[in-house]
Chain A
Amino acid sequence: MTLRFVLWLGLLNASPDALSHSSPVEAALVQSLEDGIGAAKLGDWVTYEMEGGPSRSGYWRIAVVEEQRDALGRDAYWLELEMGTHGDMVAPLFRMRALVARDAGFNGVGITRLIVAYGADSAHELAPDAVSQLMTKSRHQPSLPVSAGPRTQGPVVREGEPNRILTAMGTIIATPVEVIDRRVVIKRIWVSEQVPVLHLAKLEIPSIGQSMEVHRYGHDAKAQLPIPARDQPQIRAEPLQRAVDPVP
């Protein structure tokens, strides 16, 4: 079970085949987080607008809201993720707060505490064993189908010159990085030091018309999802097979 499953579970109303329905741009966002955001500073935040076709638009906000050491004594920060239907995020549909070790990234190794809130529900923390259980295999990637035809060359990564691009935040200087497979641009990423947290200004997947673009960013993020009291019930996880076993 991957981190993506946790995110898509909240996003897609707990659909069991959520992973297969997640959009490529959302998957790219999660992958960026999994790769680590060690350079992010306290207070950094960024909101992205996702354009994934009809009824697949939305906004994601990522913010570094607090710094502290985790249970393993590592330098860590509280990272908040919110997903909503409006860029101002006055009423997000899903909220998550994770304690992430700075050098390890948003993955099974780095996360030691995880708090989630769905809709208007109050925040609940995952039990420690549930966190490790859900995140252990977060770096697992689904295998790609093997091409039957002959291939002369794999995908090529091409970096362009820094350029000005127009976003909802105005003009941003960003460097395009393209992934090209047999003359087709699979993915185009615009990297910019101006954009905090992920340094990602824009991501495009031209062939399917999906994109993710910075909507707002800043450096004054405050924690918005409260940490539940220690005596509050925690969310526990168990293998699906055990959960559906018939009662003897």
Chain B
Amino acid sequence: MMGLCRALFLISLVLPVDLVPVYPAAIHTHLGDDLSLDGFSFRIAYFTTRDSIRIVANHFFQEWKQQGYPTVVEGDFEGEAVVSAFSTRTAVQRAVVLRSQRDKTLGFSMVRQLRSHFTAAPADRMPILEHSLWTSDLAAGGAGASDWQRTAILEEGLSNARDLARQQLERAGCALVRQAKDGEGRRARLSLEHLCAKGRVTTVLSEQEPGITALLQMHATDAFPVEASQQSRAGQAGK
């Protein structure tokens, strides 16, 4: 029952493609799939048109205003403009960012959720590292995505930050398969590669100033199941 509820919850977090704002008679190219930034799902597409920024902005402003959404416009309407509409009941924002590009208007259509789908204690999200000053997570592939990228600033030196990252991943059941160091002193960068149940986590650490370390962590789903990959490695080692 809990699994069903969770599945329904995740389905409800996927933003429908038809919510992405569409400008008439323009070809829209979607960028990526379902994206998630710090737990906020969004979809994005771009289009070009020979209509001026003012005409395009006015189209969206009038359409959303007539539909009853609180709508705001910003910009100089010569070089750039942004039109946003807010659906407060469903907590969804639709927006177009318009830029003048030679004799054309380049538009980015965007729809995003205004409430984070990260729960207080997510089961499948890597916990935030201790001593984090700032953390931002970007995921692709919808709310249930296993591919994600984390950027963080840690209030720790390089070696302590490495230990924290290793402990975090080992607690999550990941095994260290590779560790490398590039450069020396202030230019030193540490790279860690862990094998986890759902794929591979690559961590890059770089000390920005004494006691402050930047962390970049990427999780990619393996093309092959982890077990098969491990068996393959074991087989190669045996040879």
Please report A residues at the B interface, Cβ cutoff 8 Å: 84-93, 95, 119-122, 224
Contacts and interface: CB of A to CB of B under 8 A. Distances in A.
Please classify the interface of chain A as helix (H, G, I), strand (E, B), loop, or mixed, using the class held by over half of its residues.
Answer: loop
A91 B68 contact: yes
A47 B158 CA distance: 61
A84 B70 CA distance: 8
Contact of B89 (A85, A86, A87, A224): A224
B115 A120 contact: yes
A120 B91 CA distance: 5
Given A119-B88, A120-B86, A224-B89, A91 B115 contact: no
A224 B88 CA distance: 12
Given A86-B68, A120-B114, A91 B91 contact: no
A121 B68 CA distance: 18
B100 interface: no
28 contacts: A84-B70, A85-B68, A85-B70, A86-B68, A87-B68, A89-B68, A90-B68, A90-B69, A90-B87, A90-B89, A91-B68, A91-B69, A91-B85, A91-B86, A91-B88, A91-B89, A92-B89, A119-B86, A119-B88, A120-B86, A120-B87, A120-B91, A120-B92, A120-B93, A120-B114, A122-B91, A122-B115, A224-B89
- Identify whether the interface residues of B are mostly helix, strand, loop, or mixed: loop
A68 B109 CA distance: 45
Contacts of B87: 90-91, 120
A122 B114 CA distance: 10
**Which of B70, B87, B114, B115 gathers the greatest number of chain A CB atoms within 10 Å?**
B70
Contacts of B70: 84-85, 91, 93
Nearest to B93: A120
B231 interface: no
A91 B72 CA distance: 14
B12 interface: no
B67 interface: yes
A87 B66 CA distance: 11
Of the candidates B85, B86, B88, the one having the most CB atoms from chain A within 10 angstroms of its own CB is: B88
Given A120-B114, A120-B115, A122-B115, A88 B88 contact: no
A87 B93 CA distance: 20
Interface string B69-111: 1100000000000000111110111000000000000000000
Nearest to A118: B88
Contacts of A85: 68, 70
A38 to B, nearest CB: 29
A50 to B, nearest CB: 16
Contacts of B89: 90-92, 224
A89 B89 CA distance: 10
A88 B68 contact: yes
Contacts of B115: 120-122
A92 B91 contact: no
Interface string B198-234: 0000000000000000000000000000000000000
B53 to A, nearest CB: 25
Contacts of A86: 68-69
A85 B92 CA distance: 17
Contacts of B88: 91-93, 95, 119-120
Contacts of B67: 90
A88 B88 CA distance: 13
A180 B69 CA distance: 40
A91 B70 CA distance: 7
Interface in B50-69: 67-69
Contacts of B93: 120
Contacts of A90: 67-69, 87, 89
